[in-house]
Copies of this chain bind each other. A is one copy, B any other.
């Protein structure tokens, strides 16, 4: 793409200035349309060092209101903490919210191409990054994001001249770093790598725009025109449905919930004894996981009153409180609702060596949000695959993902609800909503069967915890966690 890039004809100076003003005014109007239409706009600037991204950005936002946009700079190599997360995370936590613009001064392209050139990523690792990026951009666009990608292009000589000019003046020389000089030195190598990246990620839903950056005004005009054009399209297309994709992940066989016997029990003595042993073992494993820098995600879903809380308490009782966090997931807050539905989970991921326990999870999308109409049919149907992709990113980054479904029958739920209602100290645990959900038991059961069947991947399978006897369920959960951590620490196959 870059190697056969063809410059468009640059207008004359007067025309340039006139058209820039027009487009700036149009963008000022568009920021209101974007706000009203609740479209999140992600603008990515990539390109050669000294290509003038900053100068163009200044002109692009000139007439915008600071309430409607933010600029984020991602030049720096990932920090030590960022390196302990999946590589997409540090970008994804920055995505804009609905109705707002976010300008990225470099994004995942810079990191991936740099690492490719430095040999940090071999061919396979590079391909896997490309797959992740394409997946991620697709998920954003499918969910209504406008993703505009610009590559600021200048020739080798032009870059050299600019770097020399910057270096010659002590007020500007600090702006030139070793990376820029190396890039100019290795211009042809970089060109090949950039070209390949642009081709690999040039999808019709989020195409690349290559900006001839020799002249700042001309570059500005091109960027403004493309952004205004993109906004028109995105606003027009609000609420479109995304094509549903075939599941591409291996799934384990799944039995319907109703066929799972719930008569398993454990007596109190056996429970106490094993709880103690497992707690000790978990504690050891937690330190090992910490030293080996393995991130761990434990996800709990289950019926109301199935015993999730007590179960989580027992599992975490074996963990060092400095190394884990429990995230109770309620309805999304407004700022969470305004972003991609997985965003509030990306922001809560554990760094490597840490454990995050989710009390309810991203699976709300295909249960409560599906059944209560909080998202469209297209959205929840798409979500199975998106969730599998999300969990795959975690697993590929070395995360142990353990998913529990805490299962009880309808009678047991009724008994526990009644007990809660009649026990003053437990009354806070039961609400009208619980009773309303209970009326939809059959619908929920069908949705849960769908969910488990479609997301029971080999790399992040579901574990059903039979929780009519809570002792049994707790011990089973702890055994599974011990098992999985031992496997992750190389103590088991």
Contacts and interface: CB of A to CB of B under 8 A. Distances in A.
Interface of A: 1, 4-6, 8-9, 138, 141-142, 203-210, 226, 229-230, 232-233, 236-237, 240-251, 253-254, 377-378, 381, 453
B6 A250 contact: yes
**Highest count of chain B CB atoms <10 Å: which of A1, A233, A253:** A233
B1 A248 contact: yes
The 10 A-B residue pairs with the shortest CB-CB distance in the complex, in nearest-first order: A6-B250, A236-B241, A233-B241, A237-B240, A209-B246, A229-B244, A240-B240, A138-B204, A207-B245, A233-B243
B378 A233 contact: yes
A248 B5 CA distance: 7
A247 B8 contact: yes
A243 B6 contact: no
B237 A241 contact: yes
A5 to B, nearest CB: 8
Contacts of A9: 251, 253-254, 453
A329 B354 CA distance: 69
A247 B232 CA distance: 18
Contacts of A8: 247, 251
A448 to B, nearest CB: 17
A123 B5 CA distance: 21
Contacts of A247: 6, 8
Contacts of A378: 232-233, 236
Interface centre among A208, A240, A381 (most CB of B within 10 A): A240
A306 B255 CA distance: 76
Contacts of A208: 246
A1 B243 CA distance: 18
B207 A246 contact: yes
Contact of A246 (B206, B226, B249, B381): B226
A146 to B, nearest CB: 9
19 contacts: A6-B249, A6-B250, A6-B251, A141-B204, A203-B204, A204-B205, A204-B242, A204-B245, A205-B205, A226-B246, A229-B244, A229-B381, A230-B244, A232-B377, A233-B241, A233-B242, A236-B240, A236-B378, A240-B240
Contacts of A241: 232-233, 236-237
Nearest to A382: B233
Contacts of A204: 138, 141-142, 203-205, 242-243, 245
A485 B357 CA distance: 73
Contacts of A205: 204-205, 243
Contact of A243 (B210, B230, B242, B251): B230
Contacts of A209: 246
A210 B246 CA distance: 8
Contacts of A236: 240-241, 378
A43 B208 CA distance: 29
